[in-house]
Structure 1
């Protein structure tokens, strides 16, 4: 059983995923035993945003974010934003996202992605919610749109950060946090570990992005929130001697509480 001496917050999960349907309670028990005292489950469209709210209502230590992922923006229909506004009134909604740009798969056309990204930043500003940003092979457009749409007024996090040093600098200059996932444990993630050394401690977050991106030594299996302890451990090893795993847990938990206004 994975245990951690640190108090941890997993800032990005997809707890509604069907891969948890048979053992979600056990997954959450293991998370608590590993030191996870709060987690955020993320919406990617209207259905998963609703599911995130349901899970946040069911479990005291689960919080939720709502929004439409760049893959899914082609499905946005009449009334979606009104429904997201309604969901945002729930007291356990702590962020808007994940939203952004993804030019790797282009499941939605890039032009539509950019249009909907701007709309959703505007909605997050209206709702006064921090942003959860997804960006892949779209660095210049992501940063430009965030600047033009005044996203720094609400701030947020670049989730599952895997960009280069320039993206890290641009994100930090906008006042955003960088969240590191299990990718940091991968053998070929040397550049990412080098970037992680340079991030100011008050801008660090950790996540699993579960059920995806399972860290070593469980890579290839389903990810779960308990494994965020492995992300904290690796981040501490990278940043040695600055912080221990317990320090990383404490720092990133404080940062998550501040960003998401989690008491």
Structure 2
């Protein structure tokens, strides 16, 4: 089992370009697993973790409802945003500048074979990171992602999640609002959940901007610890 993870920071990158890159890494791991089974080989499968920041984009998961996007084509152009239907789970979400998006493309057979556990560990990674900033974030029963003030009228989501898995290989991942323009969430019903607010780390801390690199380092540290993994060179 290969417990090394290659971490790459793609900086600011177009959503479709990043999606294509994810797909290529995903297919590479899948093909290697198929070859291992067909030819009775035992070649180790690689694991990747991509950090990226996207220009304004709305994405709709397989089970999503298009009516949760509240903009038409001309309004999208006006907002300098694009829209994609994609192959992850979940409903609609927004990505944009000031948001850290993370895509773990890993072979869970190198770690454990449990998608529920995988999602809970991703949430825990974010919860532990936010704890370092003095925030008490939580999971919300029946709602994937990371929240603040769960169970109160002030519940608000700070991190969205949606993944895809095939033969225990994962793709897509999480989006943590750090310095996000929350106005863009007004144009969707986030994750199909009505009457719940969205927030960002800088808003919660009352600061203009939080260094993205600093947050990425904390996320990476907690990810590696939770998955009992090492970063590969």
Q: Give TM-score, length-normalised by structure 2.
A: 0.29
Greater relative contact order (Cα 8 A, min sep 6): structure 1 or 2? 2
More helix by share: 1
More strand by share: 2
